[in-house]
Amino acid sequence: MSKILETIGISKTYHTSLVPAEALKDCTVSFEEGEFAAIVGMSGSGKTTLLRLLGTLDVPDTGDILLRGKSVLKLTDDELSALRRREIGIIYQDYSLFPEYTAYENIVMPFHLDGRKEDRAEIRDLMDVLGISHCRNHFPNEMSGGEQQRTAIARALSAHPAVILADEPTGNLDAKNSAEVVQLMKKASQLYRQTIIMVTHDRTAAEYADRIITIHDGVVHA
Ligand SMILES: Nc1ncnc2c1ncn2[C@@H]1O[C@H](COP(=O)(O)OP(=O)(O)OP(=O)(O)O)[C@@H](O)[C@H]1O
Ligand SMILES: [Mg+2]
């Protein structure tokens, strides 16, 4: 196996409030190609912070982040947006669907932004498996939280990025749907050799992972 993504001694402190929040402290962790890793930890422990840094949505105060051995901190804005369209798919904690687009349009958005044509049959199958076929032409405000969540999952999976970062992808799902979604992600990681990094509170979901990484007060135990 080869390393695809790694952090070297990254730290992040937020200065938005009166008291600085040390969200991540000297974190060194690496992920292999095709690996399915779960990140667990209490609320406020730094899970979303780590995921945002891995996804190049934010930059660390210190340390480095390497994708295939190359620092992502040195990339230009254009290189970064190409990387986010092709290499890294993100399932956000709040789904982040575009409200003015339907479920289907949201799912194919990464393809269109990248000037690529989507595989319609594959997306139909994916929506079927995720149980959101009936939402194809629905706008996000016409879908339940769980349906929006599964649409965000379909969006991330359909583009087959090398790395998928998922922030509580089963947070809004019942036990049955949650197990199905995690199994689907595991299958995707095996089929397409995708690396999946999933933040979860759900112990059962974490058990599907090849490895469980724990964060406590901003300190990562890999
Ligand atoms: N934008 C921000 N400005 C200031 N502080 C922040 C910001 N984002 C996060 N924090 C703080 O950083 C710490 C880590 O937050 P983070 O969102 O990474 O936690 P989390 O593990 O994802 O929690 P949860 O399980 O509730 O989603 C917390 O103390 C939080 O209050
Ligand atoms: Mg979070």
Structural domain for 55, as ranges: 34-62+73-221
Residue 21 in domain:
no
pLDDT-derived band at 114 (thresholds 50, 70, 90) equals: confident
Query: Tell me, what's the pLDDT at 192?
Result: 85
What value does the mean pLDDT of the chain take?
Answer: 94
Residue 116 in domain:
yes
Query: Tell me, what's the pLDDT at 162?
Result: 94
CATH number at residue 116: 3.40.50.300
3-state secondary structure of 46: coil
Asked whether residue 177 carries a pLDDT value surpassing 80, the answer given is yes
What is the reported pTM?
Answer: 0.93
Residue 15 in domain:
no
Instruction: Write down the residue that tokens 């369209």 correspond to.
Output: 85
Query: What sign does the CA torsion over 78, 83, 84, 86 have?
Result: positive
For residue range 120-139, list pLDDT tens digits in order.
Answer: 999 999 999 899 999 999 99
CA of 48 to the centre of ligand 2 (A): 4
Asked whether residue 1 carries a pLDDT value surpassing 80, the answer given is no
What whole-number distance in Å separates Cα of residue 150 and Cα of residue 59? 28
Please provide residue 157's backbone torsions phi and psi, each rounded to the nearest 5 degrees: -75, -35
Residue 164 in domain:
yes
For residue range 5-53, list pLDDT tens digits in order.
Answer: 999 999 999 999 889 999 999 999 999 999 999 999 999 999 999 999 9
Query: Tell me, what's the pLDDT at 187?
Result: 86
Burial of 115 (0-12, 13-18, 19+ CB in 10 A): exposed
Q: Is the CB of 151 under 6 A from ligand 1?
A: no
Length of the chain (residues)? 222
Asked whether residue 188 carries a pLDDT value surpassing 90, the answer given is no
Residues 26 and 11: beta-carbon distance below 8 Å: yes
Query: How many independent structural domains does the chain possess?
Result: 1
Amino acid letter, residue 5 = L
Query: Tell me, what's the pLDDT at 75?
Result: 95
Question: What atom of ligand 1 comes closest to residue 48's alpha carbon?
Answer: 22
Residue 91 in domain:
yes
3-state secondary structure of 121: helix
Query: Tell me, what's the pLDDT at 27?
Result: 98
Q: Is the CB of 20 under 6 A from ligand 1?
A: no
Residue 27 in domain:
no
Burial of 20 (0-12, 13-18, 19+ CB in 10 A): exposed
Instruction: Supply the residue whose CA is at minimum distance from atom 26 of ligand 1.
Output: 43
Residue 29 in domain:
no
Residue 3 in domain:
no
